[in-house]
Amino acid sequence: MPEQNRSAPLKTYFAFGTGKDLISKDQSRAQKLKHRGHPHESEQSSDNNLSTKVEHNHNCHERNAHTHVSVDTPPGVDTTDANIIHIVSGIIGGGNQTCGLLVDAGSSWVWIDSHNYSAGQKGPEKKSKSVDYAVCGLTGTEYNDFVKLPSGEPMLQRSIGVAENFTQFRTKLPEEVRNVKGILGIGPSYLLAAPRLSTAYIQERKSTKIRISISFEENGRDGLLTYSEPDESRYSGDITYVDITRKEPSLEYWGIDLGLAYGHDVSLTSIKTGIIDPGTALLLFRKEAYDQYKQEIGATEDSETGLLVIQESQRGKLKSLFFTIGEANFELTAQAQILPSSIQATIGVQSDKIYLIVGQLDSQTTQDDESRAQQHADVILGFTWLRWFCTVFVTRPDDIVDVDGNRTTGKYVRHIQVGIANRKF
């Protein structure tokens, strides 16, 4: 029996300004990714109540129930430093109130504003929880509860952080998305101690796999987030599945091993490992590959935006980029390498230039050659790459140890994969 499709619309917002803001924010986020900066959790058990211990967490002055987080902890990669923000509608907890949730592929945390949460009817477990997330650490009570689609159908059962200070977090977001009520983390689940699946999910699929797929419309501003087998109408050909890389820091995200060529005869040999990141706008290459690509196409760097540009006379000579992932080759056509008009309109461009989506991973002032060689993140596959493909994130707990009708508890996730297919428009 075919699996029922479970999807929710995905809305995309741009969080960058004019000029060089796009490339500089992308590069800043890339540095956090390369230095393994995650929202950092610190917990202590409680008797279903928050501790009354007062601590200061960055710029927040709240009554927090958590142990001390070292000031040496690298800044976390989160939705406040993303150039591209994705929002999906959903329900968290036992109520029926649909709210906007920020989709975060850089972490596995799920948070909901305490003012928008009602617990499930069976009284889920609770303990204090604090995560050093963004400028303002999120603090509150942790529940085991459901994440639901807008229809109210339970999809996942997992750890939920009910944040008492979510309002302060919202002030760090662009104004047009400050009405969000929570965060839906879809990062690799081994970042969580006990990934969970709903009992209904297990019974229907007879499988412990969790599949989350993302695909975008041709306009790049709308998309679909699917919690089931990918919708066949969204892609063409077969889906190629590969295990996530074992190279740090890419293994802590949706990182994959890959090869890259410009045209059919120019191999960009410095590209071996990449991170799929919907929050990054551009396709960012490490310096060696960036310089090689720039030379091959005869591009220059635009002084106003910092982006690669070519002239109209060079458009016809631009060749496809070919990404080798697993046993398959995925083509990014010449047209797909041109910056979308919606992004061009936001940053402000000159009409006589053609702007490209490829940027340099490292800014001119960061990383010497030796330190770059030690970091296995050669390319960031950002939004302008993702929009041409259907991407599937797969996690599988190694064992299901308890089913009691209310929750299914899994051990640590050990098998994590990424699937890629060509997008069907």
Which among 173, 204, 229 is the end of a domain? 229
Same-domain check for residues 328 and 219: no
Single pTM value for the model? 0.84
* 123 and 237 share one domain: no
Is residue 396 domain-resident? no
**pLDDT tens figures, 319-335:** 999 999 999 999 999 99
Which residue range(s) make up the domain with 146?
7-229
Q: Which DSSP symbol is given to 106?
A: T
- Domain co-membership, 164 together with 306: no
21 within 8 A of 347, measured Cβ to Cβ: yes
> What does the pLDDT average to over 404-415?
49
**Alpha carbons 8 and 192: distance in angstroms, whole number:** 24
Which of 229, 259, 287 is the last residue in one of the domains? 229
Whether residue 131 sits in one domain with residue 276: no
Given 229, 252, 272, the domain boundary residue is 229
Give the active site residue among 104, 145, 362, 378.
Answer: 104
Using CA atoms of 288, 80, 101, 204 in order, give the dihedral in degrees to the nearest 10. 40
> Is 104 part of the annotated catalytic residue set?
yes
Tell me if residue 398 is catalytic. Answer: no
Confidence band (pLDDT; 50, 70, 90) for 187? confident
208 plus 62 within the same structural domain: yes
Q: For a pLDDT cut of 90, what percent of the chain falls above it? A: 52
Considering the domain architecture, whether residues 211 and 68 belong to the same structural domain is answered as yes
58 and 17 part of one domain: yes
Asked if the structure places residue 271 within a domain, the reply is yes
Q: Flag whether 285 is in a domain.
A: yes
Catalytic residue among 26, 132, 277, 378, which?
277
pLDDT at 215: 96
Per residue in 363-402, pLDDT (tens digit) is 765 555 555 555 678 999 999 999 999 999 988 755 444 4
User: DSSP secondary structure string, 207-270?
Assistant: S--EEEEEEE-TTSSEEEEESSSPPGGGEEEEEEEEEPPSSTBGGGTEEEE-EEEETTTEE-TT
In CATH, what number is assigned to the domain containing residue 290? 2.40.70.10
409 falls within a domain: no
Domain count, the chain: 2
